Amino acid sequence: MPNTTTTGAAGEHYVMCQLLRRGLIAALAPTGVPNADILVTDAIGDRVCAIQVKTRSTAPADGGWHMSAKHQEIRSPNIYYVFVGLETEPPGCWIVPSPIVADALKLSHEKWLSMPGRDGQPHNDNTMRRFRSNYDNLGLVSAYPEGWLDQYRDAWALLNAATQE
């Protein structure tokens, strides 16, 4: 059974494969770079975007990925997330701009904090966040209706556009 380290590496290498086979110039970022797992550039190095890969090996009940509080603050037009679901063959990939991810994390966490927890007790704030395809349990259907994430599935063209003029 893979651990989180090998699952993360599998996701990063799968995304690298997808980028390179589409003719994009991409490289793994050095270990420890805070907001990038992969760097993508145009042919002359004029335009660069960073990708952070989030990978799951099985689909959880909420259809989401684990994230942290820092991700709700990352809002750059040059940073994208690729959410990889290894539970399907081929793996599913959702390419989402960082401002969209930040908004979803912030709104859903605020909503979760405002709701009563077990036995009516308030939730304790923490650094854990969930990026989901479905926020129905939080009553966020108007902001994130069923299928809202579908537009980002295999949206590799977003990265093409980010690295081309």
- CATH class of the region 4-162: alpha beta
* pLDDT tens track for 2-34: 678 889 999 999 999 999 999 899 999 998 898
Residue 4 has a pLDDT of: 83
Q: Whole-model pTM?
A: 0.93
Partners of 40 in beta bridges: 26, 49
Beta-sheet strands, E only, within 64-127: 64-68, 79-85, 92-97
- Helix ranges (H only) for 22-97 are none
- Report how far Cα 118 is from the mean position of its chain's Cα atoms: 29
Residue 141 has a pLDDT of: 82
Token pair 């093409």: residue: 160
* pLDDT tens track for 65-121: 999 999 999 999 999 999 999 999 999 999 999 999 999 999 999 999 999 988 889
